[in-house]
Structure 1
Amino acid sequence: MSDMKQGSKYFPLYSHLQQAAGQPVTLTFSQIEQLLRTNLPRSARGRAGWWSNRSKGAVQASAWMDAGYHVQSVDLAAETVHFAKAKLTYTVEKSGDTVLWNRGMIKALRQHMEMSQGELADELGVRQQTVSEWETGAYAPSRATSKHLGLVAERAGFAYEVGEERP
């Protein structure tokens, strides 16, 4: 599940992207306004930064990021925006027979499972804050938790290769 709330102004954009099922999507600003049933703010037409893929402080970015997309490009003159499936790059490392779960792998697993940080925390029996700290790199999971993450990943069909960088 995502964090995007149904009552949000940008929920219709989120829904539209969800229905695209990972296919690239190009929309005009007018098409987005038709989806939203309201005008975009003036800054959306005047500043490319309004379309940035930022995870804090931008409700509009949550709409596409929670749907698993990133803005690949925006053309302010043509008033078009191109969305593509977000790709996370992470490196898989091992110590003995234990995969060392890092911030990129944890976030990729969570997104693969279509879970919020809180939902993954519930699945693992930890606090949401703990998952957040793992994803920011403030802390790393313990060896025991890494084994648990491996079992959860296997059950979810999350494939990863040891020693390879995954796009």
Structure 2
Amino acid sequence: MSSQDGTKQGGSKYQPLLDVLRQSDQLQITLTFAEIEALLGEGLPPSARSKRGWWSNRSQGALQATAWMSAGYLVEAIELDNEQVTFSKPPQVYRVQCLDDTLQWNSELIRALRLHMGLTQADMARELGVRQQTVSEWEKGVYAPTRASSKHLTLVAEKASFRYEVY
């Protein structure tokens, strides 16, 4: 039985997706939109097929993201043309190299921190006081953060309870 806002009694309409992901022991799962709709028993909204942002890993205001994030998964890749999404489980603890008392933030770690915080690149840029393009370039490995930016990333990571170990 559904309410007027589209939620099923007892939880979100995305509860079946949450249940399937929670029961999985796979580190990575790729599902088609059709498979997700079959789980939900109804169609995805049109924005799921046309807007990458619908699939973003944000911790507020998105019932769908709450479902996969509550199951311990993040959206790793979205292919709108092929109508499929890949969910993956991030490591529990990330390994970070340290050089001269400064953690060396690489593209994978920066992206992992951003996803851990449930932020878009633009949100992360605001948090760090840099441009969105800078965050994008860091995540692509085009540039590495400066020493000052690395120290700021470390402070943000600690505040967000991002788990890492230095090697």
CA spacing shift, 1:139–1:61, aligned 2, 3 Å:
same
> Judging changes above 3 Å, is the alpha-carbon distance between structure 1 residues 33 and 152 closer, same or farther for their aligned structure 2 residues?
closer
1:105 and 1:17 map into 2 onto residues whose CA distance is: 30
With normalisation by structure 2, the TM-score equals 0.57
Give the match for residue 35 of structure 1.
42
Change (3 A) 1:59 1:17: farther
Task: Tell me how far apart the structure 1 counterparts of residues 119 and 16 of structure 2 sit (CA, whole Å).
Answer: 14
Aligned pair count reads 122
Instruction: Structure 1 unaligned segments of length 5 or more: list them.
Output: 1-14, 39-57, 72-80
Query: Contact conserved, 1:99 with 1:146, CA < 8 A, in 2?
Result: yes
Contact 2:75–2:88 under 8 Å retained in 1: yes
State, as a whole percentage, how many aligned pairs show the same letter.
Answer: 40
Q: Does 1:16 align with 2:20?
A: no
Inter-CA distance 83–121: structure 2 relative to 1 (3 Å threshold):
closer
- Residue 156 of structure 1 corresponds to 160
Q: What pairs up with 1:42-57 in 2 under 5 angstroms?
A: none
Which of 131, 138, 163 is matched with 1:134 structurally? 138
Kindly state the Cα deviation for residue 132 of structure 1 after the two structures are TM-superposed: 0.1
- The one-character-per-residue Cα deviations of 1:108-133 (angstroms, maximum 9, x if unpaired) are 00000000000000000000000000
Equivalent residue, structure 1, for 2:124: 120
CA contact (8 A) 1:134 1:141 kept: yes
Task: Name the structure 1 match of 2:90.
Answer: 87
Whether the 8 Å CA contact 2:110–2:138 is kept in 1: the answer is yes
Q: Secondary structure of the residue that 2:119 maps to in structure 1? A: coil
Alpha-carbon distance, 1:63 to partner: 5.1
Q: Distance in 1 between matches of 2:117 and 2:164?
A: 14
Gaps of 5+ in 2: 1-12, 58-64, 66-73, 78-83
Aligned pair in 2 of structure 1 residues 32, 64: CA closer, same or farther (>3 Å)? farther
State whether residues 24 and 85 of structure 1, in contact with CA within 8 Å, keep that contact through their aligned partners in structure 2. no
State the superposition RMSD in angstroms.
3.9
Helix, strand or coil: the match of 2:166? coil
Aligned residues of 1:118 and 1:127 also touching (Cα < 8 A)? yes
Provide the C-alpha distance between the structure 1 equivalents of 2:44 and 2:56, rounded to a whole number of angstroms: 20
